[in-house]
Amino acid sequence: MQITDLVLKNGKIVTIDKNNPRAEAVAIKDDKIIAVGTNKEIDKYTDIQVTKIIDLDERLVVPGFIDAHIHFEGGGASLMQIDLNGVTTLTEIQKRVKEKIDKVEDGIWIYGRGWDHEILPDKKWPTKEIIDDVAPKNPVVLRRVDGHSTLVNSLVLKISGITGNTPDPRGGTIIKKPSTGKPTGILKETAQGLIKSPKLSKKESYDNSKKAIKLALKEAARLGVTGIHNLTGNFEIFQELLDRKELTVRVYACASITKEKKVLESYKEWQKKFTNNKNMIKFGCLKGFIDGTLGSGTAAFFKPFDDNPSTAGLPRMTQKELNELVAIVDNEGFQIAIHAIGSKANNMILNAFEETISINGKRDSRHRSEHAQVLIPQDIPRFTQLGIIASMQPTHCITDKKFAEKRIGKERCRGAYAWKSLLNAGAHIVFGTDWPVEPLDPMEGLYAAVTRKDRKGEPGDGWFPEEKISMEKAIELYTLGSAYASFEENIKGSIQIGKLADIVVLSQDLFEIPENKIMDTKVVYTIIGGKIIYSSITDAAN
């Protein structure tokens, strides 16, 4: 009989193991779970001289949350920038920019994010003038909440050489005043790439990124996030933190998709490198884009937006180009993840995956639609037929629903955030947040998945309530589902014997509390590999 390092007992343990769905206690040795069962069954694995025993006092225990779509550095950086989330007035935007300006010298670039024109007066897009008034001598770059549009001041436009004569780049738009033809300060999609921000040295860039990631690690630990699918690389930084024993989240680190042979070969070297690191870092999927977002009005649809009939979105490539790209990358054996919001965008990537199977043959590729946000009915069963994962972010639903019907109409919205329909069709769904686009807190995602209501808790059954799912299923998609998407369902994602001991203890029972209390639930312990990396009980962390 093994004597364990850590025992959790007297808990309400939701294992996400269909063969043993509930337990009272769990025993951990080194970084793995060695026993799950009743208090009495687990007692025999303890020795009070060597085993740390935590009395859970009937608290809820779940597997560690795995955020399957996150921009980890961006999330950490957002903690250092001007926070505009939830701002409802132009005056407040000006105030927050001025507060930052007053603390820095002239010429210093100022960054922020989180504004949403849908909650600003008259739901109008802001313009450069609101920043110019308070920041005439500092370049200011403020990203919209979805990250797909940016507001800049006149100084940034001047530095970047963006004028009324500057043509729109492919897949992007420079918004211009109809009366004058001059830029308003709003740059959409690839037009954001025209911003000529200061060039940092390689060391400065690395150090800034590391600082952001270290802040993000603290936030993840506080919120019970033990694994991430990082869509923006940062391999070297994660490796350095691992070597220094400072990495406190398991990383599925992804890279940008390309058909360039030399780059694909370099990715294969990264795959080989991350094979023996205590399951902390793994080379992930190759990520690409096919469209924009619903909020920015750049998602790709079959017919124009209801509130802007002049456009049906901004596809970034043709179907032929997408087919060629996917076929090449699939043939090299990589998992592919394509950002797809609109119904046409999702149809295009499903077509590309189907075409690729006909060319390369079918394999356990676990290719992904990142967001799978709005679908036409006939595409829902194709996810199962083609083996495509729907990588979804439930809080997008409760954020976007306030303007979705205005943007695309009620009928198209029936295929929006269609969790239950996809599950009923047999598809694999995984949950994440898209942080910093949405908050990192998994409690908000769980709330969204089971209620489909706004964060204030509106009355009624929620938006298209037929697509709601149960709390247990939502937790599964946030844990075991995400593990499946990284080909790791055999080692993590559930509380089972032999799996990695990544566990979260919560302050409230999510299965018993009213739905309006879900987002008030806090993390008591975050455990990764049997080590307590966060505790709200001050003497418990080790």
Same domain, residue pair 45 and 6: yes
Beta carbons within 8 Å of 269's beta carbon, 6+ residues apart: none
Total structural domains in the chain?
A: 2
Say whether pLDDT at 67 is over 60: yes
Query: What are the tens digits of pLDDT across the range 428-474?
Result: 999 999 999 999 999 999 999 999 999 999 999 999 999 999 999 99
The residue type found at 514 is P
Please check whether residue 184 is in contact with residue 175, taking contact to mean a CB–CB distance below 8 angstroms: yes
The residue type found at 311 is T
- Mean pLDDT, residues 288-313 taken together: 94
Strand ranges for 325-418 from DSSP E: 336-340, 368-371, 389-392
- Please indicate whether residue 50 or residue 461 has the higher confidence score (pLDDT): 461
Separation between Cα atoms, residue 463 and residue 224, nearest integer Å:
28
Angle between the 343-360 and 319-331 helix axes, to the nearest 10 degrees? 50
Range of the domain at 95: 80-194
| CATH number of the domain to which 46 belongs | 2.30.40.10
Please check whether residue 319 is in contact with residue 352, taking contact to mean a CB–CB distance below 8 angstroms: yes
Same domain, residue pair 45 and 86: no
Task: Supply the pTM of this predicted model.
Answer: 0.89
Order of strands, sheet of 503-506, starting from the edge strand that comes earlier in the sequence: 22-23, 12-14, 60-63, 503-506, 523-528, 531-535
20: three-class secondary structure by DSSP:
coil
**pLDDT value for 121:** 87
Same domain, residue pair 186 and 154: yes
Query: What are the tens digits of pLDDT across the range 154-212?
Result: 999 999 999 999 999 988 999 999 999 999 999 999 999 999 988 888 898 899 999 99
| CATH number of the domain to which 148 belongs | 3.10.310.70
Same domain, residue pair 95 and 161: yes
Same domain, residue pair 4 and 97: no
**pLDDT value for 542:** 39
Q: What are phi and psi of 155, to 5 degrees?
A: -65, -40
Beta strand 183-189 with 172-176: parallel, antiparallel or unpaired?
antiparallel
Residue 142 burial (10 A CB sphere; 0-12, 13-18, 19+): buried
Same domain, residue pair 56 and 136: no
Cβ density class 145-170: b for 16+ within 10 Å, e for less: bbbbbbbbbbbbbeebebeeeeebee
Whether 43 is in a domain gets the answer yes
Whether 376 is in a domain gets the answer no
Same domain, residue pair 172 and 129: yes
Q: Which of 144, 179, 194 is the last residue before a domain boundary?
A: 194
Say whether pLDDT at 274 is over 90: no
Say which DSSP state 517 is in.
Answer: G
Long-range pairs, 10-13, Cβ under 8 A, ≥24 = 10/39, 10/55, 10/56, 10/57, 10/58, 11/56, 11/58, 11/59, 11/60, 11/61, 11/505, 12/56, 12/58, 12/59, 12/60, 12/61, 12/509, 13/61, 13/62, 13/495
Whether 166 is in a domain gets the answer yes
Confidence label for 275 from pLDDT (cuts 50, 70 and 90): low
